[in-house]
Amino acid sequence: MFDSFSSKISDIFEKLRRSGILKEEDVDAALREIRIALLEADVALDVAKKFIADVKQKAIGQNVIKSISPGQMVTKIVHDHLIDLLGTASEINVNKKPFKIMLVGLQGAGKTTSAAKLARFFTKKNKKVVLTSTDIQRPAAIEQLQVLSKKIDGTLFAFPEGERDHRNISKFALKKLSEESGDILIVDTAGRLHIDDVKMNELIDMQSIIEPDEILLVADIMTGQDAINIAKRFSESLKISGIILTRVDGDARGGVALSMRALTGCPIKFLCVGERLDDIEFFDPERIAGRLLGMGDIVSLVEKAQENFSKEEAEESARKMQAGVFTFDDLANQIEKMSKLGGLKSIIKMLPQSGQLESLMASQGISDKTVTRNLAIIRSMTKKEKRNYKILNGSRRKRIAAGSGTTVQEVNKLIKQYEGTLEMMKKFRKMGGFSKIMSALGR
């Protein structure tokens, strides 16, 4: 999400580190760059301006000359200020019974999917959830939530058949909530423009009927400068208590996280990180600020990888590697797993120094495209060939190239890379295996 931003900021501080002593003009130059980076990341103009002014004030207050590493010091100031602005990691306390949540936002922000994700999130914590939708505007919006609710055990979808009035739907849901003695009510609402007074009044109306404990503003992480208008109008009209950011799995730089927090004064409570119902998590400012500053989001990557690689699979592949058995099937398996993580490009982006890695890969001709082509090559091999690459003679290679729609050169290249991997594994084994190397690196 914050990839390009983080590589930019690390470039800036790279320059600062090289310059040795931090002069005021260096700070100014760095701040100018940070301003551009913030704006390109879609941080609202006012928020970016204030951020720069605050950081400058803090930096100048410090005794920069005595500082050993001025770059690090500015990094710390920027980092701390980011954390300050982003707010604390927030848990949502739903112990009050019943606990009522209303979701609001623009069209296409991701309210309906978020409603279902929240329902899943709370049912996993053994809460009984009642879901309803007052979105009678968008065709099939009600059906969408109904279909999703069926996938979530312990969730009740409450909707009065054929009803077209948001007040009656709200009242019906409240009645169901008490009849069924549900723990949590989640109300999905129609998407609306913040400048549409009639529709905004409808929400105010619903707010007074439902008396929600939380009104969460759902916002797309890709939102541009309009975030300022959205945040202001929604938080002025309603008692917004928190933000849900959606599409965080995309590659948008996501400055809206900073903007929304600063402009509504409300905490960011959840991040939606994928299309599956389980893809929702609590907001963690450290993680996002770390990403902003080029430290990479290794935590995210690890978690994402854990979801896709089961423990057994990981142990199996480690065992195979230890034993030096690594067939083309194993390679194909790994490539597939990687594309599930979002492909090479997005994995790299989560790592520190992603900028350099990306250019290195480009210079080596490695891209998601070559990865897909390699997968096609492996799939065109026979079982026997996959297990023993040594039998791959000229005519077999020709056949594989034709079968996979690639060239013999590409097949040769892949085999060469594969041989390189085997060679590397051999060396690793001689050095005492993976675990030993990893623990050495840990020190």
- Which spans of this chain sit near other proteins (rule: CB under 8 A)? 36, 39-42, 45, 106-110, 137-141, 143-148, 193-195, 220, 222-226, 229-230, 246-247, 249-253, 255-256, 275, 339-340, 342-343, 345-346, 368, 372
Give me the least distance between CB of 250 and other proteins, in Å please. Answer: 4
Which CB atom, from 110 or from 242, has the smaller least distance to other proteins? Answer: 110
CA gap 133, 115 in Å, rounded: 9
Give me the least distance between CB of 20 and other proteins, in Å please. Answer: 29
CA gap 20, 155 in Å, rounded: 60
Which CB atom, from 94 or from 169, has the smaller least distance to other proteins? Answer: 169
Strands 242-246 and 155-157: unpaired
Give me the least distance between CB of 316 and other proteins, in Å please. Answer: 23
Query: Cα 278 to the chain's mean position, in Å?
Result: 13
- Say whether the peptide bond before residue 98 is cis (omega within 30 degrees of 0): yes
Which CB atom, from 19 or from 339, has the smaller least distance to other proteins? Answer: 339
Give me the least distance between CB of 340 and other proteins, in Å please. Answer: 7
Cβ atoms within 10 Å, residue 342: 18
Give me the least distance between CB of 196 and other proteins, in Å please. Answer: 8
Which CB atom, from 60 or from 193, has the smaller least distance to other proteins? Answer: 193
Give me the least distance between CB of 144 and other proteins, in Å please. Answer: 4
CA gap 287, 281 in Å, rounded: 12
Which CB atom, from 45 or from 302, has the smaller least distance to other proteins? Answer: 45
The answer for 329, left when phi > 0, alpha when psi is -120 to 50, beta otherwise, is: alpha
Give me the least distance between CB of 194 and other proteins, in Å please. Answer: 7
Q: Which amino acid is at 15?
A: K
CA gap 166, 189 in Å, rounded: 9
Which CB atom, from 75 or from 133, has the smaller least distance to other proteins? Answer: 133
Cβ atoms within 10 Å, residue 92: 18
Residue 212 token pair: 């929600």
Which CB atom, from 141 or from 292, has the smaller least distance to other proteins? Answer: 141
Closest CA to 373 of 345, 340, 400: 400
